Amino acid sequence: MIRLILSAALLLSGTPAMSAPAPQVIAHRGASGERPEHTASAYILAIEQGADVIEPDLVMTLDGQFVVRHENEIGGTTDVAGRPEFAARRTTKTIDGVPTTGWFTEDFTLAELKTLRARERLPLLRPNNTAWDGQEAILTFDEVVAIARDAAARTGRIIGIAPELKHPSYFAGIGLPMEDTFVAALTQHGLTGPDAPILIQCFEVGPLQRLSARIDAPLLQLMSLSGGPADRPDLTYAAMATSEGLRAVAAYADAVGVETGMILPRDDMARSLAPTALVEDAHAAGLKVVVWTLRAENAFLPLERRQGDAPADHGDLSGYLKAFYALGVDAVFSDFPGAAVGAR
């Protein structure tokens, strides 16, 4: 059965349905355009800038704990490469079919990971963020929940959380299944109900289907322009984004999270083309639509929104955001939540 999300957009539990701002602004890994992603300072800044929701990506440790990193490979987001005591743990693994070399969270205990410090993932595009390199520890999921709740108490606003389960089939295959641990964490924090201020995301299908049978919290099926779910080699995201595919998604999820180009495609010169029917089709299937990821740098913007010549220069993010708002999306993921709130 399709669950209804009672807030105006996605998940402002406890707020009268029509009083929540729409579309909602989800701080993508925090205010990651201005601080190293997934750090306490990134999340706190995002909340100060008015974000409705903060997003932690969840991966697992050797001892079965959730930590918050974009990927389980952490060579580019921590100082692990400069730590001689961990040099021997550098290795190559195949993650969802892609050979990857580096250091992996599943080879470290939580206590070991807590000795590392975060670094900016995109230093060439975001050189100012490197001023915070080495200052902050890796967070756990519990710590991100605490940040949201502390901020809610401080601001009087409900701050939602949008955790993404990263590579659950891979982790299950190495003896670190995510779902039982995740449900236990949600239960501990009182985040399993239909009105809970949470939006649970995954690029895979099976984990969301199984979670749908276990909890009532809102679920979001992620999709990208290419490829398909790692656990469903018979399925592509393109097929899932059709009217028929969206109706199938609505049997277990409340929302879809789609890449910008699935709504506003680009031509060979990176200029925006006419919008697709995805927003309309998803709404017809009873699904909310979240678009990812809205970033200010020219490297991520369509040609007509770029300003200056350098990939790191900031273009017209506000105009790009407004284009999606005008198309009726229910929420946006942005590395610059302040800009997203301002454009709204």
Model confidence pLDDT, tens digit, residues 212-251: 999 999 999 999 999 999 999 999 999 999 999 999 999 9
H or E segment to which residue 283 belongs = helix 278-284
Rounded-to-integer distance, Cα 71 and Cα 53, Å: 20
CATH architecture of 17-72+137-343: Alpha-Beta Barrel (3.20)
The answer to whether the beta carbons of residues 43 and 49 sit under 8 Å apart is no
The pLDDT score that the predictor gives to residue 22 is: 85
Partner residues linked to 93 by β-bridges? 100
Q: How far apart are CA 309 and CA 299, in angstroms?
A: 10
Which tokens hold the place of 260? 């910008």
Return the C-alpha torsion angle 303, 123, 331, 235, nearest 10. Answer: 80
What pLDDT shows up at residue 21? 66
Tokens of residue 256, six digits: 């879809």
pLDDT for res 83? 98
CB 139 within 8 A of CB 56: yes
Spatial separation of the C-alpha atoms in residues 163 and 58, rounded to whole Å? 7
Residues 6 or more apart in contact with residue 295 via CB below 8 angstroms: 33, 301, 317, 334, 335, 336
CB-CB neighbours of 46 under 10 Å: 35
Cα gap 127→16, rounded to integer Å? 42
Q: Is the bond preceding residue 23 a cis peptide, omega within 30 degrees? A: yes
User: What is the distance between the alpha carbons of residues 53 and 158, in angstroms, rounded to a whole number?
Assistant: 9
Compute mean pLDDT per 10 residues along the chain, 344 residues long, and list them: 34 36 93 98 98 98 98 98 98 96 98 98 97 98 98 96 98 98 98 97 98 98 98 97 98 98 98 98 98 98 97 98 98 98 97
Question: Tens digits of per-residue pLDDT, 30-63?
Answer: 999 999 999 999 999 999 999 999 999 999 999 9
- pLDDT, tens digit, 9 for 90 and up, residues 91-112: 999 999 999 999 999 999 999 9
